[in-house]
Chain A
Amino acid sequence: MTRTVQRRLVNGVPMPGWPMRIFKGLVLLVFCAAVIVPFVGVISTSVAPNKQINESGGLVLFPDSVNFNAYKSLFAGGVVTQALFVSVFVTVVGTLLSLTVSCLLAYALARPGFSAGRPILLVVLFSMLFSPGIIPTYLVVKGAGLLDSIWALIVPTMVSAFNVIVLRAFFMNLPNEITESARIDGAGELKTFAYIVMPLSKAVLSVIGLFYAVAYWNAFFSALLYLNDSKLWPLQLVLRTYVINDTQLGSAELGTELLPPQASIQMAILVISIVPILLVYPFLQRHFAKGVLTGAVKG
């Protein structure tokens, strides 16, 4: 009993004993390994030599040597190249449109004294309470003539109410004097928005932009639901067909005679769809906690 009290305190909490610390370290290590090992396996297999893949019967954790044959055949202009173009288009164009539309709406909602602000804010907030259902949404998309159009992947999900609320909270926190002085200097709403508010909001814009981009890049269900034409398929749908459902990718689909083992092709497709997220991840990680919390507190 006395020993517990005499133990070193860190922020008021007694330091745990060694067995406890080792136990916690092990638990954490297992969790982290469970996350990392699959990624390592997938990346390694996509560059491992054929012989090693065949011997292991599938996934390779430590490749003996490195080759990029799988990537060469995927980028030769077949279905995967095509899908990559679709995914990049949807992600880039979608994110730009989403950001523009969301910022304009959030800015209007953040202006004090905007006469229609209150009802529009309620429309935005209330839409978060329910989800509209698969069939009725499908009918609206169909009615808008978006079926089998690449825009079906962008337009229905262009505005996220949550992101609008986060942006609005950020704009409201900007000092009022800045916009007021712009007004006195004769700037209208558009000028204030474009030249004063936007440059001050680079941090939040990049976070929200990345949220949108990740959502567009990962979108699978909208493509499954709205697109029959396989020429319009984004990477996620190609991934399902050729990796999860294990449909063979032949030279007809790949557009090349170079045919590495299916396992390494499949893993290379996975890597292509993972890498863009890994690239933005360090940045995402630096900012997203703040973004999530702003929304939670102000929303």
Chain B
Amino acid sequence: MLQRSKTRTQQLSLGRRLLRDRVLLLFALPGTALIVAFHYLPLLGNVIAFKDYQPFLGIGGSDWVGWENFAVIFNGDPAFLRALKNTLILTSLQSVFVFPAPILLALLLNSLFSERIKRIAQSILYLPHFMSWVIVVALFQQMLGGSGLLNNYLRSHDLATLDIIGNSELFHVLLTSQIIWKDTGWATILFLAALSQIDSQLYEATSVDGASRMKQLWHVTLPGLRGIIILLFILRLGDSLTVGFEQIILQQAAVGRDISEVLDTYVYNNGVIAGAWGVAAAVGLVKGIVGVILVLAANKVAHIFGEQGVYSR
């Protein structure tokens, strides 16, 4: 019965099948149209990277200028290099400090013997993830700013105050700690799920063999986390040129662009604010292409090491 209906489906021509599925097509239409309009259609807009785009002329009416807009990248315009440098610094800081933080926290939470304490801690630690960057930045100001809680406390005890917010030397550290505060708790979810998948018999067997807690961590727990760590690191790598646009835009005025300009803010400040649309689009385009190449390359490396990666094949 099943077999027969299957062969009949295959016999129908494509047009017939689409006609038969017209209700489902209608269901899928609005969502697909929105994804195409706001994910794929903008790809076409990238042609303005090769044009001297003037808003009043429109995309079609603006002149072609070839690779001229890309000159800032290839000739190493100082403002572009500055943005690139800050982006690379921030992305390294994030890979070294932000990436491992949830792994450590998940190991800590996982090693708690009281389920109740674990659950309460999770409820508290997940919360900042749901706060917008505006709120996070405002909270940091209120805590660490010139008239924030910390400095008021120091002042009332006649101690020297700390210049943290608005201090350009500490800006990269501040950005990194804000990300840690906001997302470390939430990011433990995937690691905790992986930890719960580890067969508890492995722990029992190793402890019968006399393995200490450290040995168990090294030989049982960490190998169990390997797959998810590699997967998330690949995704992180693909995003390595994206280092937090909203977060930085909100605090840029206080510290100046020398230390705070990254590729995304460069695109925004030059394009939307200053009107150098072509140059901004060119930088954005190169950034997007490099991002895709990074994901594909990282995935390839994962396959070479025998891991699954983001997608197989």
Using a CB–CB cutoff of 8 Å, the interface residues on chain A facing chain B are 1, 4-5, 9-16, 24, 27-28, 31-32, 34-39, 41-42, 56-59, 61, 101-102, 104-109, 111, 113-117, 120, 123-124, 127, 129-140, 144, 155-159, 161, 164, 188-190, 193, 214, 217-221, 224-225, 236, 239-240, 243-245, 267, 270, 273-274, 277, 281-282, 284-285, 288-289, 292-293, 296
Whether B42 pairs with A120 at a CB distance below 8 angstroms is no
Give chain B's interface residue range (CB within 8 Å of chain A). 35 or more
Can you name the residue of chain B whose Cβ is closest to the Cβ of A29?
B121
Whether A214 pairs with B23 at a CB distance below 8 angstroms is no
Whether B253 pairs with A35 at a CB distance below 8 angstroms is no
Given contacts A24-B112, A124-B32, A277-B130, list 12 more A-B pairs with CB under 8 A. A5-B207, A10-B113, A13-B207, A32-B125, A56-B152, A108-B28, A133-B285, A135-B281, A136-B46, A225-B268, A289-B193, A293-B193
A24 to chain B: which residues have CB within 8 Å? 108, 111-112
Q: For the complex, give the distance between the alpha carbons of A34 and B213 in Å.
A: 29
6 cross-chain pairs, A with B, having the tightest CB-CB distances, nearest first: A12-B203, A105-B31, A136-B45, A218-B132, A12-B204, A136-B42
A289 to chain B: which residues have CB within 8 Å? 189, 193
Whether A236 pairs with B213 at a CB distance below 8 angstroms is no
Chain A binder among B76-84, B85-93, B141-149, B300-308: B141-149
Main secondary structure of the interface of A (DSSP, over half): helix
Whether B130 pairs with A214 at a CB distance below 8 angstroms is yes
Whether A284 pairs with B246 at a CB distance below 8 angstroms is no
Whether A13 pairs with B203 at a CB distance below 8 angstroms is yes
Q: For the complex, give the distance between the alpha carbons of A102 and B29 in Å.
A: 10
* Min CB–CB distance B141 → chain A (angstroms): 7
Tell me the chain B residues, 103-145 only, with Cβ under 8 Å from chain A: 105, 108, 111-113, 117, 121-128, 130-135, 137-143
Q: Which of B124, B206, B242, B245 is the one whose CB lies under 8 Å from A221?
A: B245
* Min CB–CB distance A235 → chain B (angstroms): 9
Whether A31 pairs with B202 at a CB distance below 8 angstroms is no
Given known A-B contacts A220-B133, A221-B246, A136 and B281 have beta carbons under 8 A apart: yes
B284 to chain A: which residues have CB within 8 Å? 133-136
Q: For the complex, give the distance between the alpha carbons of A144 and B37 in Å.
A: 10
Whether B30 pairs with A104 at a CB distance below 8 angstroms is yes
